[in-house]
Structure 1
Amino acid sequence: MAGVVTLAALVTVLTAHTYVNATRWLRRLPATPVAVDGTVAVLLPVRDEATRVAGCLRALLAQQGVPDLEIVVLDDGSSDGTADVVRGVAAGDPRVRLVTGAPLPPGWLGKPYACQQLAELADPAATVLVFVDADVVLAPYAVAASVDALRTVPATLLSPYPRIVAGSVGERLVQPLLQWLWLTFLPLRAMERSPRPALAAAGGQWLVVDRTGYDRAGGHAAVRDRILEDVELARAVKRSGGRIALADASALASCRMYDSWPGLRDGYGKSLWASFGSPVGAAAVVSMLFLLYAVPPVLAIGAAVAGEPVIALAALVAYLLGFVGRVVSARSTGGRWWPDALVHPLSVAVLGWLVVHSYRLRRRGRLSWRGRPVRIGPVGSDGIGSSR
């Protein structure tokens, strides 16, 4: 009985932390017109994005509030006609430059190298670099609002989180966990104030960086061999004395990262292993999530059947508190909470399977993305593999 009460108490604390983060510390980009001065470079890396880049690029061309805006698109070895789609959408607009990426050199992973090339290609007059992925669709004042927020905080790197769009069952089970995890376990205010690189988070779908601070941190060259280049760039910024910040941008942007279960499985398979310090750390985290969020409903049913109503009630309370945490997370980031939050235990179980799958791919040397092998070396002391 004491164990179940302790479990419920822990979930209570974590749900309270989710609520405090969401209602007190989470920055929000307003969906109101704003204007900024100076040159801003929007940098778009694409690789086999023919089916998605058009919506992203049209939204970028419709940006308002940034009088001096350039858009640089880097085609990183696409084989599906992505470049032709970009040319068709740009239709000769002088704000858009399409360049072909250079071959991947030794020691680099694909995404960091594409972003580094883009940064070097950006107009030298640009004081702010805005990295956007092809699956992100921005509202008309999104770039202006993010640049204004970067300067207002002030921060060296701002990570605005778009509203995550989930269509298939697999997406609806897994994708909402992105926001829920950092709202539940990351102390947002401490992360912004602390100079510790370990206390950092960022989402690579949309990053806004001060160019001087980006260069001082070493740019993407500093994270050339990192699977999670977004988080590692945030850490590099902190190491160089810069400040990072997160913001909810669900009113200004949407992102459907994957449109099928195979795509989601492969995407997480490529990178989830790098989110943990070691396989032991991964096992500890997954076990904790299972205990706190997947076990309670099973325990509640088992205890009820066994004639233990007090234990069943305590376990039910733990489950309901986890449900409330998911509801808070969804409502504060533009996500769908009904009925998805009801199956939060199943979401946690699927996440656990994806972690195991990712480590299995890593051990077998079968990590890949968009047809390109992800070659990494042994895991170092920080748990992150280096490329080779």
Structure 2
Amino acid sequence: MTSATGRWLVRAGAALAVASLGLTVDNLRRIRTPSPSPDVADPDDVVLLLPVRDEAGRVVDAVQELVVAARHWPGRARVVVLDDASSDGTTTLLAELAGRADLRDVLEVVPGTPTPPGWLGKPWACHQLAGAAGGAGVLVFVDADVALTADGLTATVDLLRSSGLDLVCPYPHQEARGPAERLVQPLLQWSWMSTLPLGLAERSPRPSLTAANGQLLAVDAAAYRRAGGHAAVRDQVLEDIALLRAVKASGGHGVVADGSRVASCRMYDGWADLRQGYAKSLWSAFGTPAGAAGVTALMVLTHVVPALAALRGSRTGLAGYAASVAARALVARRTGSRVLPDAAAHPLSVALLGALTADSVLAHRRGTLRWKGRPVEVSR
């Protein structure tokens, strides 16, 4: 690489970092946030839907939190839990919860059936849950590792209705405790906050202008049915994003929101768990291996190249690095994550995400990906 090419790459990367910072600032101004004191005048019937598989360490707390949230809802609300062939004691714990007299008015536990050909496990579990929801007006899907606040359901459904949208995903605060988690997990919110124009995304039908999070996802039941429900995304690893795309394709609208006040989530516990979790999905996040390579290269150009140039004394590189850190810090401050020193290590975070993406693509090609004992691909 010539010195002229190197200087051009640094300038291009720095310019992209500054543009990304500008978009981040604009998104922080317009991002939707659940109201801290929602006033629900005409409450829908709501069902909280929780799929669980081998969650013995978390399922009791998860169910109890959802029950509390359901009872805070001013209208009729139920909690339906699907046991997806658990083998670690989850089934016994759910049976005990379902048998409690104080929970019978609000809690239903249903057994899952074997995943049929053409389906992945998570979409099939959600499809069964939606079928058990009856005539509810709003379906709220929640993952077992999400801790929902007492007013989290009310705030989430109020956001759905007050915004006039068909689907909203209040993004939970992502808990990160160890070094690997602190490097990678904050990138979840930063990634869409710094690249996706939210004002355009929530109204545009374009698939590329879509971000969602199935950890906490509220959808109008009629819009869900028009979109084909989870049957329309039965073979998708990232079924949350695919579901929002299906809603958009059927004439609906939706977007991610800042849910850091109403929910929190610790997705992974340490490096090994994190690596396995990202391996199962990153290969599909960008459409094709070529797409993954292209996006990774663009992220490295924008957030790593200027930082490396700054270490060699480049003022342009320093400006680009400062813009990257500023965007990361602003998102962290908004979502309750650590600001410093974590944001200062942003180039390292992006480089690690690139490595995890390559790891995921290679594992998918080898056919070695599994999650909770099942292959991460559909059976035919």
TM-score (norm 2): 0.93
Equivalent pair of 1:66/1:143 in contact (CA under 8 Å) = no
Matched ranges for 1:339-358 at <5 A: 339-358=341-360
C-alpha distance in 1 between matches for 2:291 and 2:27: 25
SS of corresponding position for 1:247: strand
User: RMSD value over aligned CA atoms?
Assistant: 1.5
- CA shift digits 1:108-155 (9 cap, x unpaired): 000000000000011x23111000000111111111111111111111
The reply to whether residue 102 of structure 1 matches residue 113 of structure 2 is yes
Gaps of 5+ in 2: 1-6
The reply to whether residue 199 of structure 1 matches residue 209 of structure 2 is yes
Alpha-carbon offset, residue 13 of structure 1: 0.9
C-alpha distance in 1 between matches for 2:163 and 2:20: 27
Please name the residue that 1:382 is paired with.
none
C-alpha distance in 2 between matches for 1:327 and 1:209: 31
Please name the residue that 1:379 is paired with.
none
SS of corresponding position for 1:28: coil
Please name the residue that 2:82 is paired with.
74
The reply to whether residue 136 of structure 1 matches residue 136 of structure 2 is no
Alignment counterpart, residue 359 of structure 1, candidates 350, 354, 361: 361
Please name the residue that 2:59 is paired with.
53
Matched ranges for 1:1-388 at <5 A: 1-23=7-29, 25-32=30-37, 34-35=39-40, 37-63=43-69, 64-89=72-97, 91-92=100-101, 93-94=103-104, 95-122=106-133, 124-301=134-311, 303-304=312-313, 312-376=314-378, 387-388=379-380
Equivalent pair of 2:13/2:303 in contact (CA under 8 Å) = no
Q: Which moved more, 1:235-244 or 1:28-37?
A: 28-37
Equivalent pair of 2:142/2:215 in contact (CA under 8 Å) = yes
Gaps of 5+ in 1: 305-311, 377-386
Alpha-carbon offset, residue 336 of structure 1: 1.6
Equivalent pair of 2:47/2:79 in contact (CA under 8 Å) = yes
- CA shift digits 1:51-93 (9 cap, x unpaired): 1222221211111133311111000011111122234445341
C-alpha distance in 2 between matches for 1:129 and 1:69: 10
SS of corresponding position for 2:137: strand
SS of corresponding position for 1:97: strand
Please name the residue that 2:3 is paired with.
none
Equivalent pair of 1:34/1:65 in contact (CA under 8 Å) = no
Equivalent pair of 2:9/2:301 in contact (CA under 8 Å) = no
Equivalent pair of 2:300/2:350 in contact (CA under 8 Å) = yes
C-alpha distance in 2 between matches for 1:255 and 1:294: 28
C-alpha distance in 2 between matches for 1:6 and 1:53: 48
Change (3 A) 1:33 1:190: closer
Equivalent pair of 1:52/1:134 in contact (CA under 8 Å) = yes
Change (3 A) 1:100 1:12: same
Equivalent pair of 1:33/1:65 in contact (CA under 8 Å) = no
- CA shift digits 1:127-185 (9 cap, x unpaired): 11000000111111111111111111111111111111111111111110010010011
C-alpha distance in 1 between matches for 2:258 and 2:93: 30
Q: What is the identity percentage for the equivalent residue pairs of Structure 1 and Structure 2? A: 49
- CA shift digits 1:220-253 (9 cap, x unpaired): 0000011110000000001111111221111111
Change (3 A) 1:83 1:67: farther
C-alpha distance in 2 between matches for 1:3 and 1:360: 28
Equivalent pair of 1:37/1:66 in contact (CA under 8 Å) = yes
